[in-house]
Structure 1
Amino acid sequence: MHLFKYDRRHTLAAPLGALMRQHGADLLADADCVVPVPLHPRQQRACGFNQAAELAAHLGPPVVQALRRIIATPPQTGLPAARRHGNVRGVFAPARPRRGWRGRGGTMRGARVVLVDDVATTGATLEACARVLRGCGVREVRALTLARVVRRESP
């Protein structure tokens, strides 16, 4: 995961995406499309690629860039849960789907969407994106991530 996310190993997208496709088969089976969590353009230039979009390309259903990140935020890494939710409030907005979406006259209304990200920690980013998608008339939003951070209670 670290090599893919921080060392820009694009070639890992295919095998990691295959793992996601296998483990998320139930979520993907009747999905109309997958929507990657977007990066702000400045963040994408700095990273060189959007990890969520790279993974989404290997999941099967059409990839739709239905969201855009309108505010560049500091990384969520290291932030407590309350700050993570505040950090992504108002950050995402609808984007007119450009590629890969043929159904429903090009709108997301009534769609079953799988939202894709690389890592889920508190779910703040996924919740913020899902809120925007539901506001666009998406019928059902499911989430699929490569990894989930699990915090253990102190003994």
Structure 2
Amino acid sequence: MAVLTHLARFGDACVSFALPPRCPGCGVVVAGDHRFCLDCWAGLDFLGGPACQRCGRPLPDETLGVTSCAPCLARPPAFDHASAAVAYGPIARALALKLKYGRRPGVARTMARLMQRLVPAGDDVVLVPVPLHRWRIWTRGFNQSALIAGTLAKRGGVAIALDAIERHRRTPPLRDMNPRQRAATVQGAFRMRDAEQVRGRRVVLVDDIFTTGATAEACARVLRRAGAAEVRLVCWARVVVRDGDPVR
């Protein structure tokens, strides 16, 4: 047994020498897996100050006692709460692109480590990843939100329902659309596959990027109709406009 232990350690040392851990942001060699270099770590804008209790939009420090932003007061979203680990920026964007298009599924674990603090605990909590259409999964090979949700579930010891909802209608990429176009595009694109997995439970909807909230709203409406007691959105990064209201 001692010999096997020494051999395993030797093998790990050889792998570390040949393939040293690298910063998820820029790729330079770092001390350990999922660790950032100092420059990339400083480039991440962690969210955690005053924020809207519904959509999670950061609020100025001087708005003491304010619990909702103007857009949520005018039109409350379908989900109960949204939160993100970091604001969308160069480093956050680099990780999202590596995960989605660079075929680097290990980046999902990096994201999940920093998102874990946002996930509530409890036997009634269930994680539901935002689904991709089957054609997108066949092309990409995986659903990035499902990879993140799987790591969150394992690390937090909470339930996960990978197939509770499905994207039954194929939709074009939303990145070049305005908020109204996004909402219209995803309307009716999701449906429940197994309502029993979410009925009466606190659902944590998991996604990588929060831009306008159109996709999250469409999923939240489906989950609400299925009987979810609460729908929270947790994502890696969100687009934030500091000097004015972001258009949701």
TM-score bracket, normalised by the shorter chain, equals: 0.7 to 0.9
Residue 52 (structure 1) aligns with = 145
Give the superposition deviation at 1:15.
Answer: 1.7
Residue 226 (structure 2) aligns with = 136
Task: Point out the more displaced range, 13-22 or 112-121.
Answer: 13-22
Please say if residues 21 and 58 of structure 1, whose CA atoms lie closer than 8 Å, have aligned partners that are also in contact.
no
- The CA distance in 1 between the partners of 2:183 and 2:237, in whole Å, is 19
- The CA distance in 1 between the partners of 2:141 and 2:198, in whole Å, is 28
- 2:200 is aligned with 1:110: yes
Please say if residues 33 and 63 of structure 1, whose CA atoms lie closer than 8 Å, have aligned partners that are also in contact.
yes
In the comparison of the two structures, how many residue pairs are matched?
Answer: 143
Give the superposition deviation at 1:96.
Answer: 2.0
SS state at 2:174 partner: coil
- The CA distance in 1 between the partners of 2:187 and 2:168, in whole Å, is 11
- From 92, 101, 114, the counterpart of 1:6: 101
Instruction: Please list every run of 5 or more consecutive structure 2 residues that lacks an aligned counterpart in the other structure.
Output: 1-94
Give the superposition deviation at 1:28.
Answer: 2.0
Aligned amino acid, residue 132 of structure 1: V
- The CA distance in 2 between the partners of 1:63 and 1:69, in whole Å, is 17
Give the superposition deviation at 1:35.
Answer: 0.2
Please say if residues 92 and 129 of structure 1, whose CA atoms lie closer than 8 Å, have aligned partners that are also in contact.
yes
| 1:4-153 correspondence to structure 2 within 5 Å | 4-22=99-117, 24=118, 27-30=119-122, 32-60=125-153, 61-64=158-161, 65-96=163-194, 106-151=196-241
Segments of 4+ in structure 1 off by > 6 A?
Answer: none
Q: Which has the higher contact order (CA 8 A, sep 6+)?
A: 1
Change (3 A) 1:122 1:129: same
- The CA distance in 2 between the partners of 1:20 and 1:8, in whole Å, is 21
TM-score w.r.t. length of structure 1 = 0.86
SS state at 1:144 partner: strand
Please say if residues 164 and 197 of structure 2, whose CA atoms lie closer than 8 Å, have aligned partners that are also in contact.
no
Once superposed, what is the RMSD of the aligned Cα atoms?
1.6
- The CA distance in 2 between the partners of 1:107 and 1:4, in whole Å, is 27
Give the superposition deviation at 1:107.
Answer: 4.1
- The CA distance in 2 between the partners of 1:146 and 1:32, in whole Å, is 19
- The CA distance in 1 between the partners of 2:241 and 2:103, in whole Å, is 26
Instruction: Please list every run of 5 or more consecutive structure 1 residues that lacks an aligned counterpart in the other structure.
Output: 98-105
Larger Rg computed on CA atoms: 2
TM-score w.r.t. length of structure 2 = 0.55
% identical aligned pairs: 43
